[in-house]
Chains A and B, each alone.
Chain A
């Protein structure tokens, strides 16, 4: 039982991170129907920027804010200079553009920050807390707490603010949104900024647990993509549930079956799910218009 709890804790912690990345994917997909393959790089920027600011003697809270701001700026720039000019291109062309952007950002990070792995100190010590025979790191509680706060803030933003409602309207029907006077270009820009900030937050939260380096964005990004697809692309609730399912399944498989195949678990899971539910768990079964 203690063992099971242990796996569950670590699964939920990682799963919360996947959920945040998945939310970022869902947000950009909703606003533009683009899958942003550079999403993982925002996590990398968040973690690495915090590490380097700390190294320069900046206090932790300030370093975190600076990292989130930097990632957001990069996200905005990505939309403005790479995605916006290719608005009318085919899906696969835009995919290649975001892949190019992710290679570019990774290369830049490697030049600026080097190739080494860095550990971010935990936010409040590393004395494990014991629950029911299993232990949980304080950092895990931070990850969970911040995720809950972020999700609550997003729910408020989308349901209570004009901009949030404008984004939702655009995701439902772009042309109709434009007709009622919504600036859909701005919506797209904000979606990229917001999802970059989300990625950075996830990257900073998880860095004390999993280490960070210039190339952590690849796997984390891909798994966030799995989380988003698992829940049904474009569904916010779906991305969160998908992320948690993914994290827990991965931790259980690593614990009980084989730790070597830990990284393969998300992809096996997504293939199985897509075989039976081609639109993910919460995806809308759309009809194609001819």
Chain B
């Protein structure tokens, strides 16, 4: 049964079961919409977690890539009449190229300097899209037509749910595989100590650039799909606050935990809806929850809970410590 416990199989199967079961519990379209948004955010967070959680590189500008994807789809499809799939692909390739070009100078920076540079990049993108209104519709955003593929239109909450759900499983599977590959081990090595990783023969620059590009592409593709799903795209999608939300999903769920990123995305997407009842106090409560969670669970939710469960497990098992032998 050991393989069932490995995250790559057991965890993925559990996630698939949850994705398949959720629609039975969703009473109406509003909840479907929430679930779809959770899925979209979760995929971005899973990609960002590769960069933050595993490689230990902070990005406070990933919403910029998300927004670029969305605007690329919006402009090419709505204004120039491109097929949506082609626009999505070009958005992904374009963002990958941009991320690749800026990755080398940016990822040379460390800690807070890196945070500053990525933050600046994100803010520049969001200012550009809200200023160039002849192209992007300015601060009000722009209309984006529905997603069609070979004449088939992606329409209705249920269809979107299954598409995003499937993509989420694909994204998690990809991330788990990357983590278990030599690239993933290189990332973890450089997270521990970059100099030591270099001494051990890891091309740290290459590893960092690669994971930066991968996480940017995750964000761009989801930005495109989100724009098609919502029917519009606005500068807030690429703004500083959205970048912060994405990082928070990763950190809250648990850094270096792919399923943590999914849980973090779910919480941060649903929480504002739950808090909307607080009206004026929404920001106060949100800020408080954020602070308290990080103060009392600095490792994030999933790793902390996993440790608690493990401890309880050990207490229950007749031979203490037997769980630790299990791979």
Cβ contact within 8 Å between B298 and A290: no
Residue-wise, chain A 12-49 has the 8 Å CB interface mask toward B (1 for contact) of: 00000000000000000100000100000000000000
Do most interface residues of chain A lie in helix, strand or loop, or is the interface mixed?
Answer: helix
User: Total A-B residue pairs with C-beta atoms closer than 8 Å?
Assistant: 135
Most buried by A among B111, B115, B128, B294: B294
Given contacts A96-B247, A274-B116, whether A107 and B52 have CB atoms under 8 Å apart is no
A225 at the interface (CB under 8 A from B): yes
CA distance A273 to B28 in the complex (A): 52
B196 in contact with A271 (CB, 8 Å):
no
Which residues of the other chain, B, contact A229 by a CB distance below 8 angstroms? 112-113, 116
Stretch of A123-131, A154-162, A260-268 contacting B (4+ beta carbons < 8 Å)? A260-268
Residue-wise interface mask of B (91-129) relative to A, using a CB-CB cutoff of 8 A (1 in contact, 0 not): 000000000000001101111110111011101100110
Check if B284 sits within 8 Å of A104, measured CB to CB.
Answer: yes
The residue from B199, B247, B284 contacting A107, defined by CB atoms under 8 A apart: B284
Residues in chain B near residue A82, CB distance under 8 A: 291, 295
Q: Is B240's CB within 8 Å of the partner chain A?
A: yes
Taking the complex as formed, is A91 at the interface, i.e. its CB lies under 8 A from any CB of chain B? Answer: yes
A239 at the interface (CB under 8 A from B): no
Q: Is B282 an interface residue (CB 8 A)?
A: yes
A260 to B105, CA, bound (A): 27
Task: Scan residues 102-156 of chain A and give those whose CB is less than 8 A from a CB of chain B.
Answer: 102-108, 110-111
Min C-beta distance of A114 to chain B, whole Å: 10
From 112 to 171 in chain B, residues with beta carbon under 8 angstroms from any chain A beta carbon are 112-113, 115-117, 119-121, 123-124, 127-128, 131
Also in contact, A226 and B116, with CB within 8 A (given A82-B291, A92-B58, A96-B290): yes
Contact B280 A267 (CB under 8 A): no
User: Which residue of chain A lies nearest to B109 when distances are taken between CB atoms in the complex?
Assistant: A278
Number of interface residues of B (CB under 8 A): 49
Nearest to B278 among chain A residues (CB) is A107
B283: interface (CB < 8 Å): yes
Which of these, A93, A108, A274, contacts B294 with CB under 8 Å? A93
Q: What are the interface flags for B201-234 relative to A under an 8 Å C-beta threshold, 1 for contact and 0 otherwise?
A: 0000000000000000000000000000000000
10 closest pairs, A vs B, by CB? A107-B283, A104-B287, A100-B290, A103-B287, A267-B120, A89-B298, A107-B284, A100-B291, A264-B127, A275-B105
Q: A222-B240, A225-B119, A278-B108 given. 14 additional CB < 8 A pairs?
A: A86-B295, A88-B298, A91-B58, A92-B52, A92-B58, A96-B248, A100-B287, A104-B283, A104-B288, A225-B116, A229-B116, A233-B113, A267-B121, A270-B117
Listed by A's residue number, 25 A-B pairs whose Cβ atoms lie within 8 Å are A86-B295, A89-B294, A91-B58, A91-B112, A99-B290, A100-B290, A103-B290, A106-B287, A107-B282, A107-B286, A111-B280, A222-B123, A222-B240, A225-B116, A229-B112, A229-B113, A233-B112, A263-B127, A264-B123, A267-B120, A270-B116, A271-B117, A274-B109, A288-B194, A290-B199
